[in-house]
């Protein structure tokens, strides 16, 4: 009797995890329709990078990583990236590094966020913000390497290309942290699995 209850709970948890992952992959995809081109490197301001961070903050490291991986997998076949392109197309372009940053950043943000002391509002928000900053750092560093590789930029120029994104990304991060905190406050059961 206990065994069947335990396996039933695991099945429900796995089904719930799959649903969360699919919903966040869809959210990341939908936000690809918002893209503002800036800078000489051809890298636009997008909301997808913020959505991958939100996936990690809300779902945790494993599920956030998997949601972003599912988004990238779907993107191999459908034009869900910002500007209406596919992952296959992006692999040959200057934004290739950002895709790797999305993946690793969402996992890192989630691993950090789920270590927050959820009984302390200010500390939880601070930990979420740190997780988001680490995710942005992954995006910028790997994005810079992608620019160096695909746009043949030097190291200094590739890192300088990130400067135009700092303030918009910090603003997006503040919104994502607020959303993640609100979601965790409303649905504390999210933290039972990572």
CA distance readout (Å), 99 to 24, 154, 190: 16, 20, 26
Q: What is the tens place of the pLDDT at every residue in 50-91?
A: 999 999 999 999 999 999 999 999 999 999 998 788 999 999
For 117, list phi and psi in degrees, rounded to 5.
-80, 90
Other C-beta atoms closer than 10 Å to the C-beta of 77 total: 10
% of the chain beyond a pLDDT of 90 = 74
Contacts of 140 by beta carbon, 8 Å cutoff, 6+ apart? 101, 159, 162, 165
Q: Is the pTM of this model over 0.95?
A: no
CATH class held by domain 15-186: mainly alpha
10 vs 18, residue with greater confidence: 18
User: What pLDDT was estimated at residue 149?
Assistant: 92
Q: For the chain, which residues make up each domain, given as ranges? A: 15-186
Asked if residue 43 has pLDDT above 90, the reply is no
- Which pLDDT band, with edges at 50, 70 and 90, does 2 fall under? very low
């Amino acid at each position: 009797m206990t065994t069947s209850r335990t396996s039933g709970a695991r099945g429900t948890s796995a089904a719930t995890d799959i649903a969360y992952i699919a919903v966040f992959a869809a959210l990341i995809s939908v936000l690809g329709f918002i893209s503002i081109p800036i800078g000489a490197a051809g890298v636009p301001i997008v909301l997808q990078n913020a959505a991958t961070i939100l996936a990690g903050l809300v779902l945790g490291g494993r599920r956030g990583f998997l949601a972003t991986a599912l988004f990238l997998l779907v993107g191999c076949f459908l034009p869900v990236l910002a500007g209406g392109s596919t992952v296959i197309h992006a692999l040959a372009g200057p934004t290739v590094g950002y895709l790797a940053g999305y993946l690793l950043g969402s996992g890192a943000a989630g691993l950090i966020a789920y270590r927050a002391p959820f009984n302390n509002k200010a500390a939880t928000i601070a930990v979420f913000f740190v997780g988001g900053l680490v995710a942005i750092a992954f995006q910028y560093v790997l994005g810079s390497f992608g620019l160096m590789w695909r746009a043949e930029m030097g190291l200094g120029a590739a890192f300088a290309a990130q400067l135009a994104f700092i303030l918009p990304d910090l603003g997006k991060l503040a919104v994502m942290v607020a959303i993640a905190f609100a979601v965790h406050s409303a649905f504390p059961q999210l933290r039972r699995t990572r």
